[in-house]
Amino acid sequence: MFDLDGLLIDSEQAWDDVRREFVAEQGGHWQDRAQRDMMGMSSTEWSRYVRDELGVDMSPERISAEVVARLTALYRQQLPLMPGAREAVERLAHDLPLGLASSSNREVIDMVLDVGGLAAYFDVTVSSEEVDNGKPAPDVYLEAARRLGVSADRCVAIEDSHNGILSASAAGMRVIAIPNRAFPPGPEALAAASLVLPSLNDLTAASVGRLDSPDRDA
């Protein structure tokens, strides 16, 4: 189970820049903690946060639509795939069924996977706007496992963020953490990971298989 933002695509700074600019244009008040607070939130949750905490006087639905339109426009100009992202997905898809559990809007997920040439490698994809609660709640990972037809405890999640690691762990999955350098996960999240890797280049089917083998706790 792959995350998307900050793992396969170098998007956290893009989200930050777009939302920061949008809030300023709408007369809101950006806060230093805002990007970290919103990491992992569903589109419903972060758009409400922009309205309620950052002072943008607009419906959450319109906030989400405006921000996503700006973000996808940037991606269509140049999609910032992480180094080694395509190769890592291809390697794992050769041996394992793949799912994707993302906090991004469905529109963003589909566009990124299509433009990035990755869509064919994923058996299921789930947006947190399709479940009740965003990360760090386990909902999006549990739904991805359900759609894939496997129990969550037989899945290994690949995550980069604090809330993402906690989300997958809460779902009962083993977690391989590849920490986001700009917004690194805290000690609590890293302690919940079964394995920490420096980059996607180090992610292989063998490392995933070891975590998901019957003697993985030995």
Positions marked catalytic: 3, 5
Structure tokens at 212: 């998901």
Neighbours of 214 (CB within 10 A): 6
User: Burial level of 92, CB count in 10 A (0-12/13-18/19+)?
Assistant: buried
Give the three-state DSSP class for 53.
coil
C-alpha to C-alpha distance for 89 and 118, rounded to whole angstroms = 8
Q: Which residue has the tokens 């639905």?
A: 61
Question: For the chain, what is the largest distance between any 2 Cα atoms, rounded to a whole number of angstroms?
Answer: 56
Structure tokens at 209: 């298989």
The residue type found at 217 is: D
Structure tokens at 192: 């919940």
Stretch (H or E) spanning 31: none
Q: Which residue has the tokens 């760090």?
A: 136
C-alpha to C-alpha distance for 69 and 64, rounded to whole angstroms = 8
C-alpha to C-alpha distance for 213 and 95, rounded to whole angstroms = 14
Query: Phi and psi dihedrals of 88, rounded to 5?
Result: -65, -45
